[in-house]
A and B are shown apart, each in its own frame.
Chain A
Amino acid sequence: DGGITQSPKYLFRKEGQNVTLSCEQNLNHDAMYWYRQDPGQGLRLIYYSQIVNDFQKGDIAEGYSVSREKKESFPLTVTSAQKNPTAFYLCASMSKGRLGGYTFGSGTRLTVV
């Protein structure tokens, strides 16, 4: 079955450390997105990419970086510059037709220790 795979499910980061969250899809979708979810805040857009080797900053990109070297993969790096990284991170993708909406991965819960 097609879908989006995020890994790891849980991640613990020490202060000053960079960590990378994996997102892989086999839906052949062009567009991919990273959202951050905090309690009571809804989902906020970090980065998005519509085609390979191209991506744009979302609303809260500071302290994050991404790459899109392959259509299937859109990893997110949480750098030490992100002062409050503890959150639930969701990766999503969507086909060009967009009538099927976003397909979300199961998420990565990142905690700073």
Chain B
Amino acid sequence: DTEVTQTPKHLVMGMTNKKSLKCEQHMGHRAMYWYKQKAKKPPELMFVYSYEKLSINESVPSRFSPECPNSSLLNLHLHALQPEDSALYLCASSRNRERDEKLFFGSGTQLSVL
């Protein structure tokens, strides 16, 4: 199994809603990532978990709250988002955080905030 699975594929939410994005991998990878990608832009790193501990928060607003319940799962809790938060949210994993590690990506959640 070399897949990273993300749900839901599409999400529309209002600015007062609370929702969660889910990501799962069963490759035994110990590093997991959330990226945000706006149209026609490269992915921007948001959070990195290494061995289920938060390693990097790239100054992401607190309305985004990551969670890593176990080594296979990664969640992104969303609350009080703004329309400018509309984007493709990509989850990725890698064996670890060494220099040569390649990333395995999910197909993303396309989020629209109304």
Q: Do A and B bind each other?
A: no
Binding site for A on B (CB under 8 A): none
